[in-house]
Amino acid sequence: MKKSNLAFVMLLLSCYFLSAQHKGNYNQITRDISRQNILTSGNANIYNPVVQQQINKVLHPSNVLTIDVKALQNVSATTYTAIFNISQIGPSAEKTNQLMKERIDSIKYRLISKGITKKDIAIDVISFVPNYEVEVTKKLFSKTYTEVPKGFELQQNIHIQFTKTNQFEAILEACAKSEVYNLVKVDYFIENIQTVYKNLQDQLLKLIEEKKAYYTTLGFDMSEYNVAIADDKYCYFPKDFYQSYQAYNSVSFDALEKKKPITSVKKQTSYYYQPLTYESYDVVINPSILEPVVQIGMNIKLLFTPKPKEKKEQPIVKTKIDHKYYVISPNGTIDVKELNTKN
């Protein structure tokens, strides 16, 4: 192989690895793309037909005006609450409760040393039940099976409130040292949510006025339209937007080299945070986020239809015609008679 060809191959390989640095392991999108979804237009390949259809969308003029505005605000949580489940078994009720208390006291001690106060820790008792085993009693001509208590199981949840995300690492460490690994969930809380809604409302009202001014500039008299309205608001927490995926490929090169059968490897399920995207929003407040946030949104839709034109009633003009007969007698006298037209 010539040096020029070798250099060209090396350049292609380097470009491939550079382009793959930010791809990651998530391959859900690539899996869903097939050749039949790849269209050709001129010299370019269209990898998203939906976007192309939106670009080439045909507009249909109408005298009905619609103002549909949406706003979204990303809000960092004011406080967080992590919930861990603790399960403890013991030979007796007293011993089980004592072992549970020692584990929880150990967690509290470590958390307090990390700056979390006692008022930020709460205990929720879930269950306290005996465990039974079957005891067989042999008699001369029969056997008796009796359930007898063998021990007790106590389950409790420990609620830990914190205000900064970097405290969560210390919480995990404190629980792990007491052999507590079952993280149930992490709740997010924000204060003054009405202030957030008011901010979104002000942003949307400002945008609506701008769009009404735009229609006025185009020659529409908004006072000649009837208006109908629909609005909505919502609040989503990070737990609603975690999605899962599995590593796309797993190949054993050792099996190929040693000519051994390929053993399929169980792919680990991973999770990632996928918040609401911004394509359909007119206003996005705090768009750049580093950590999971609470997403609060508001929609307002106005429909303007032309007012029906008033019909002017035309005055009814009645023309009255008096019909008369003139009777002339042979002697030349004239007698006037009115004609009765009512019948």
Whole-number average pLDDT of the chain: 78
Give the pLDDT confidence score for residue 313 in this predicted structure: 75
Return the closest-CA partner of residue 120 out of 174, 192, 76, 196.
174
Give the pLDDT confidence score for residue 298 in this predicted structure: 95
Lowest mean pLDDT among 16-25, 78-87, 118-127: 16-25
pLDDT digits (tens, 9 = 90+) for 207-241: 999 999 999 999 999 989 999 999 999 999 988 88
Report residue 149 as tokens.
């208590």
Report H helices in 20-58.
28-32, 49-55
Residue with tokens 């429909």: 303
CATH entry 3.30.70.580 includes domain 79-189 = no
Domain ranges of the chain: 24-75+193-306, 79-189
Highest-confidence segment of 26-40, 187-201, 251-265, 301-315: 187-201
How far is it, in rounded angstroms, from Cα 131 to Cα 40?
68
Q: How confident is the model at residue 146 (pLDDT cuts 50, 70, 90)?
A: low
Question: Please, what is the Cα angle at 97 between 95 and 99, to 5 degrees?
Answer: 70
Report residue 178 as tokens.
């007491």
Please give the average per-residue pLDDT across 311-335, as a whole number.
69
Give the pLDDT confidence score for residue 243 in this predicted structure: 86
Which of residues 65 and 5 earns the better pLDDT score?
65
Which of residues 112 and 4 earns the better pLDDT score?
112
pLDDT digits (tens, 9 = 90+) for 280-302: 999 999 999 888 999 999 999 99
Q: Output the pTM of the full model.
A: 0.66
Report H helices in 48-167.
49-55, 93-113
Q: How confident is the model at residue 74 (pLDDT cuts 50, 70, 90)?
A: very high
Flag whether pLDDT at 148 surpasses 70.
Answer: no
Q: How far is CA 218 from CA 191, 213, 223, 224, 322, in A?
A: 43, 9, 14, 14, 59
Q: How far is CA 284 from CA 74, 230, 276, 292, 298, in A?
A: 8, 20, 11, 16, 11
Return the closest-CA partner of residue 72 out of 242, 210, 190, 235.
235
Please give the average per-residue pLDDT across 112-124, as a whole number.
90
Flag whether pLDDT at 29 surpasses 90.
Answer: no
Coil/strand/helix, residue 342: coil
Coil/strand/helix, residue 311: coil
Strand runs labelled E in 218-312: 225-236, 242-246, 269-273, 283-285, 294-306
pLDDT digits (tens, 9 = 90+) for 194-206: 999 999 999 999 9
Please give the average per-residue pLDDT across 145-156, as a whole number.
79
